[in-house]
Chains A and B, each alone.
Chain A
């Protein structure tokens, strides 16, 4: 996966007589093994021979297609509302901004199942907002593909907001001032100056949100259910397959692992650069 520019590994000169103490080395190796062995097991037990067949089965294909579509839609939705939200948090000052910021980040730490329950109570057929959507527009969101997108957006958008807000804070606000002296309204300055300047941060946030949406399980199954072809995304399919067709579950897991590694590789310049 790393066909791009590889950074040469430099052997760091070590001062003599200063080895790594065993008390740190031993638990570090245990931790490393704990993280790597499951991934290794996945590769070792993969049904490599039947893999092409597994991956081309219509069920897998359907789940993968649905997953990719929903994660992408959720990312797009997050971009449309999340970037302006990040701008609001980074560039304006109003009472309660700190609290609002904390609330925005809440889904990051909230158990996704709780998010799903909350979504049901808000957008369900009898939910706080959902009853009106149903009565006025005949729109029902739970247990639909749109519901999947919403559940994933709920969980993934905070990643985007936090990433973009951080980039905005690091960007020099005086460029916006320069734009203002040239006649640009605040929105024009945002669109033509700030947005291009923070594009890398937005891209990174979008990838992060997309990956999170792709793996989303708890909120999705709670709010959207598990209907093949409609709301059954890859993680749900993996979970279901594990009950009756473990080989299929492993094959699906491999696909998700590959996607994760690809995301990591795409972001390595940003987050994997060691100090």
Chain B
């Protein structure tokens, strides 16, 4: 599965239109689920070999979308086609879909081997054949020596691999992963993520994973679909989304300051108040983004600055990120700024301290909204 090179450097978030679907091969779905006040409407297309991440805050509807794909939640409307076959009315047990659940849901009364053999058994394989296939899958996952272990004796990372093997053992044409790394502690996570990435890269059909962790999404997926409040707000390659976030949520995820405004030549008048000088020449509704590292802080108003954006702010909060400090600022403009601990000490930063925040026009990035 080729990791998409950055093929879409152009205007931000170019959403694949309905015409750019993958044809009969792969996934073509529009998932509409109405449940009381919650409304989900998400269109998803993916070609075999694609790894798509549904990224969004909790309660955005990601898991509902996943359950709809698996057939565990009924669609109110829309369609669901996989490799050309209509699955809309197909019960979950008849769909060529494998699911890795958030807490894995390994059957506690079965050994790792029998957990993996469960799928092949249900799909018609004989007992010996199913077990042989399960053993091969466990071997691929590096779990041969744990074949006889019950789930409660497996570590989090091992259980995750057993769950993945169990889902893959039925040769699904669509693999669904619900928060595949959420149940793991930070240290295991790193290793499991790298391993999962290799397995997903080797998977020949469509994989859709749901996560609220942008790092997981960017490492594991070729394409991100950002869902907020039941709707897709942005779709694209990880790098595309990182450079052109279209909502505050995404900007926060990727660590950007993001504002909406009206472009007028090299100036953007922000909806939030002040104007920002940019290098781009745009008119009409635009986004302006700049990374927290591009912000410089000053105790006194800096002089002789050309094409510099300057705002009077106050420190609202300070957070340590490694050897960096991220300062949350309020005032003329709310923004985040990164600086070294030394610089923070020299500036005598503390909550409530007044500062001047400056950003060079060349460090900002404006793009049409």
Q: Decide whether A and B are members of one complex.
A: yes
Residues of A within 8 A of B (CB): 172, 174-175, 177-186, 188, 192-193, 196-197
Chain A residues within 8 Å of B105, by CB: 172, 174-175, 177-178
Is the CB of B166 closer than 8 A to any CB of chain A?
yes
Residue of A174, A180, A182 contacting most chain B CB atoms (<10 Å): A182
Q: Is there an interface contact between A183 and B109, defined as CB atoms closer than 8 Å?
A: no
Q: Is there an interface contact between A197 and B118, defined as CB atoms closer than 8 Å?
A: no
* Residue of A whose beta carbon sits closest to that of B109: A196
- Known A-B contacts A196-B109, A197-B108; the reply to A180 vs B101 at CB < 8 A is no
Contact with A along B276-301 (1 / 0, CB 8 A): 00000000000000000000000000
Contact with A along B43-80 (1 / 0, CB 8 A): 00000000000000000000000000011100000000
Q: Is there an interface contact between A183 and B119, defined as CB atoms closer than 8 Å?
A: yes
Q: Is there an interface contact between A180 and B93, defined as CB atoms closer than 8 Å?
A: yes
Q: Which of B91, B108, B109, B166 interacts with A182 by CB under 8 Å? A: B166
Q: Which of A172, A180, A188, A192 interacts with B92 by CB under 8 Å? A: A180
Chain A residues within 8 Å of B135, by CB: none
Query: What's the nearest-Cβ distance from chain B to residue A178, in Å?
Result: 4
Is the CB of B194 closer than 8 A to any CB of chain A?
no
Is the CB of B262 closer than 8 A to any CB of chain A?
no
Complex Cα–Cα for A175 and B110 (A): 12
Q: Is there an interface contact between B92 and A181, defined as CB atoms closer than 8 Å?
A: yes
Q: Is there an interface contact between B99 and A181, defined as CB atoms closer than 8 Å?
A: yes
Is the CB of B113 closer than 8 A to any CB of chain A?
no
* Residue of A whose beta carbon sits closest to that of B72: A177
For the residues of A in contact with B, the DSSP-based class is: helix
**15 sample A-B contacts, Cβ–Cβ < 8 Å, listed by A number:** A174-B101, A174-B105, A177-B105, A179-B118, A180-B71, A180-B91, A180-B92, A181-B72, A181-B93, A181-B95, A181-B98, A181-B99, A184-B118, A185-B122, A197-B109
- Known A-B contacts A175-B107, A197-B108, A197-B109; the reply to A184 vs B93 at CB < 8 A is yes
Q: Which of A174, A182, A196 interacts with B122 by CB under 8 Å? A: A182
* Residue of B whose beta carbon sits closest to that of A193: B107
Query: What's the nearest-Cβ distance from chain B to residue A82, in Å?
Result: 22
Complex Cα–Cα for A184 and B121 (A): 9
Complex Cα–Cα for A179 and B98 (A): 10
Chain A residues within 8 Å of B237, by CB: none
Complex Cα–Cα for A192 and B109 (A): 10
Chain B residues within 8 Å of A175, by CB: 105, 107
Q: Is there an interface contact between B101 and A178, defined as CB atoms closer than 8 Å?
A: yes
* Residue of B whose beta carbon sits closest to that of A188: B122
Q: Is there an interface contact between B92 and A177, defined as CB atoms closer than 8 Å?
A: yes
Query: What's the nearest-Cβ distance from chain B to residue A158, in Å?
Result: 27
Chain B residues within 8 Å of A196, by CB: 107, 109
- Known A-B contacts A174-B101, A178-B99, A178-B101; the reply to A183 vs B107 at CB < 8 A is no
Q: Is there an interface contact between A184 and B107, defined as CB atoms closer than 8 Å?
A: no
Complex Cα–Cα for A197 and B71 (A): 24
Chain A residues within 8 Å of B166, by CB: 182
Contact with A along B171-197 (1 / 0, CB 8 A): 000000000000000000000000000
* Residue of B whose beta carbon sits closest to that of A178: B105
Question: Which 4 pairs across A and B sit closest by C-beta, in order of nearness?
Answer: A183-B122, A182-B119, A178-B105, A180-B92
Chain A residues within 8 Å of B108, by CB: 197
Q: Which of B71, B97, B122 interacts with A184 by CB under 8 Å? A: B122
Query: What's the nearest-Cβ distance from chain B to residue A275, in Å?
Result: 25
Chain A residues within 8 Å of B92, by CB: 177, 180-181
Known: A181-B99, A183-B94; 12 extra A-B contacts, CB below 8 A, are A178-B105, A180-B91, A180-B92, A181-B71, A181-B95, A181-B98, A181-B167, A182-B98, A182-B119, A182-B167, A183-B93, A184-B122
CB under 8 Å from chain A, chain B span 122-157: 122-123
Query: What's the nearest-Cβ distance from chain A to residue B359, in Å?
Result: 49
Chain A residues within 8 Å of B72, by CB: 177, 180-181
Complex Cα–Cα for A88 and B98 (A): 27
Complex Cα–Cα for A64 and B312 (A): 94
Q: Is there an interface contact between B97 and A181, defined as CB atoms closer than 8 Å?
A: yes
Q: Which of B70, B101, B170 interacts with A183 by CB under 8 Å? A: B170
* Residue of B whose beta carbon sits closest to that of A195: B109
Chain B residues within 8 Å of A179, by CB: 107, 118, 122
Chain B residues within 8 Å of A178, by CB: 99, 101, 105, 107
Chain B residues within 8 Å of A185, by CB: 93, 122
Complex Cα–Cα for A54 and B360 (A): 105
* Residue of B whose beta carbon sits closest to that of A199: B109
Q: Is there an interface contact between A183 and B123, defined as CB atoms closer than 8 Å?
A: yes
Query: What's the nearest-Cβ distance from chain B to residue A244, in Å?
Result: 53
Query: What's the nearest-Cβ distance from chain A to residue B74, in Å?
Result: 13
Query: What's the nearest-Cβ distance from chain B to residue A62, in Å?
Result: 41
Complex Cα–Cα for A185 and B122 (A): 8
